[in-house]
Structure 1
Amino acid sequence: MKLKIYIILFFILANSITAQEITCSAKDKEIFTTRIHELKKEYLTKSNFSETIIFVGKTFLGTPYVAKTLEIGIEETLVINLQGLDCTTYIENVLVFSLMLKNDKSDFDTFTSYLEKIRYKNGVLNGYPSRLHYFSEWITNNEEKGIIKNISGDIGGIEMEKDINFMSTHRDLYPFLKEDQNFKGIQQSEKEIGQSTLCFLPKDKIKENEHLIKSGDIIALTTAITGLDVTHTGIAIREKDGRIHLLHASSKGQVEISKLPLVDYLQGIRKNTGIIVNRVQ
């Protein structure tokens, strides 16, 4: 019996992220503590997880948009930045805090554990290539973890047929790709993406299927840009006008709710081809 306990303990320790692998300022740690305290104080048990996503997502309104928040340092670490968010880290942090409320957790170790699980392949930080850089890969991997489900195919979507290789064909844009090991790792990720099936809802099919999108669904905006899958992400939210809008970290400045309904908002994005709709589980 003791041997079994020791084996389990070793497995937990061996698969836990270390303090050296975390990049977090004292200010961000303080923000985390304040945020989880305020969330738990205001949170009322929701009938479904999507409602929790919206509750948490709205608490980030006004948070500044900051690009490339994870591209820091010389080695890949679990970067925690709650002072500024890009569209993907916004989604990740909303998911993590929502899971903490759902599971009645409030400690920093649980926060980092959940964040690592969502951000990295199979939930394990193992260098730069282990991060889910492409959002299509992020979707597929987190679907395998049981966190989300891509429902695009169920609401009129079609299979995406496109070679994903933007990072490897634009190596100079990514400082970490100067290292051959990282470059080869990204090429392998791109190859694996090409071997998976992913459905999206074409732009001209969104309006007729808008009623099937629910508040709390995670929305990824697909693109016609060569080699790239997704250019932006956000959370679907049905507003008082009865239409689906986008709750997102806008590159125009901060986390906000789009003034225009999603269908109209997309018309202003020239290379947008549609959306991927993901339902939290």
Structure 2
Amino acid sequence: MDIDQIRCFLAVADSLHFGRAAQSLDMLPASLSRQIRLLEDKLETRLFLRTTRSVSLTEAGASILEEARALVAQAEKFEEKVRNVRKSETPVLKVGAIDSAAAGLMPQLLSLVRQEQPGLEIQLIEQKTIRLLPKLLSGSLDIAFCRPPDIRDQRINFQTLFFETAVVALPEHHSLADHDIIEIADLADEPLIVPDRRSRPHSHDLTIKLFLDAGLTARIAQVAEEKHTIVNLVAAGTGLAIVPRWTSRLQVPGVTFVPLSVPEGTTRSKLILAAAWARGTRDPARDAFVAVLEAHLKELEASA
């Protein structure tokens, strides 16, 4: 049984209001309603009576309320035990990072950590956001640098750091390669390489929305998953790509990176970088690591 659906059930049962319950879980009301429907389908019974004015528990819903609380409490106890056992077995701080942060942020940050916290041993794991977040909950990661999802799991604490700068990756002999800055209109007729939305929704949506905001349609020539693959496709002449500036540290021969003019507003938020860790956990090593990060945040942001 999906424990997150049980959490959704408890949130509605406690507030008897789908809007307030969704807000408490940082979810859209429609998403919350869908999770409740899936749970009701799985149990083959209605859990709530809903009218335009009120929400109430059915007899079945009331009868499972305390067992549902016990299930969630047991799941949280289980997760905490796994985290504690792992921490007792290894003193290594396990840090996850999306590819642009692994290429740009981590080399700088790890150098600072070695200077200021020389006793701190760190293992770096590079993955996509959708794979990093479950690892935080299972205890196999202590902290991750990622894009915050649109619907945030309340068991994870997200600390916004800054926005990464968008640039255009293009072949070094392209006609736009000598520009100081590129406008979206300059890319109107250019073939584009975009990330797969299923695995990289933020990077994919950044490209699509930039074109929509400019009244244009992105001309997608190729979909690829990994940043390194995308940049190599640019080098091969397949198309251009809008990527975070730290991607330029991959240093693929034959590729030039030119700053992109990005209007202020919601589009820019697609490249938000956050630090994330399991809420309610205590970890002196993680705290020491975050302290170094916060002390140097401005200089790190300047390179993003």
TM, length-normalised to structure 1: 0.26
The TM-score normalised by the length of structure 2 is: 0.24
Structure (1 or 2) with the larger CA radius of gyration: 2
